[in-house]
């Protein structure tokens, strides 16, 4: 158990819908990263938040957005869903401790868009 929690574990929805994925980082971790794992694209970085502020964006679609709240949990919002958005979405957290920084991953949310 990494200490990072993600809810829900599974999500089935229809095209055009909107969903929210939630991530609670390990206690004391200020950074949250979101990644998408799909069969065709592999593991890709989406976005990074540090202590409530957006720090970096990767291959994140405009239909997707995220935020980190004052209690440091984060939410990833996916809207106008398409079949191709079906994937496993991971969040990871870290303390940003310099060279020794390690990202610890949650169990993921598996999204199926029908």
Partner 1 sequence: AQSVTQLGSHVSVSEGALVLLRCNYSSSVPPYLFWYVQYPNQGLQLLLKYTSAATLVKGINGFEAEFKKSETSFHLTKPSAHMSDAAEYFCAVRLNAGNMLTFGGGTRLMVKP
Residues that bind partner 1 (CB under 8 A): 2, 4, 31, 33, 35, 42-45, 48, 50, 55-56, 58, 90, 92, 96-108
Query: From the CB of 77, what's the least distance to partner 1, in Å?
Result: 19
Q: Which is nearer to partner 1, 73 or 105 (CB)?
A: 105
Q: Which is nearer to partner 1, 43 or 114 (CB)?
A: 43
Cβ atoms within 10 A of the Cβ of 103, count?
17
Query: From the CB of 72, what's the least distance to partner 1, in Å?
Result: 15
| Residue among 32, 3, 52, 6 nearest 94 (CA) | 32
Which DSSP string do the residues of 60-88 spell out, in sequence order?
Answer: --TTEEEEE-TTS-EEEEE-S--GGG-EE
DSSP category for residue 26: P
Query: From the CB of 27, what's the least distance to partner 1, in Å?
Result: 18
Distance CA 79, CA 96 (A): 30
Query: From the CB of 62, what's the least distance to partner 1, in Å?
Result: 19
């Amino acid at each position: 158990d990494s200490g990072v929690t993600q809810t829900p574990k599974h999500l089935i929805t229809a095209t055009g819908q909107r969903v929210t994925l939630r991530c609670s980082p390990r206690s004391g971790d200020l950074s949250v990263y979101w990644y998408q794992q799909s069969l065709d694209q592999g593991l890709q970085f989406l976005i990074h938040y540090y202590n409530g502020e957006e720090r970096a964006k990767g291959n994140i679609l405009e239909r997707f957005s995220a935020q980190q709240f004052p209690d440091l949990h984060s939410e990833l919002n996916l809207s106008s869903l398409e079949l191709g958005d079906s994937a496993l979405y991971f969040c990871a957290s870290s303390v940003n401790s310099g060279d020794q920084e390690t990202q610890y991953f949650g169990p993921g949310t598996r999204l199926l868009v029908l």
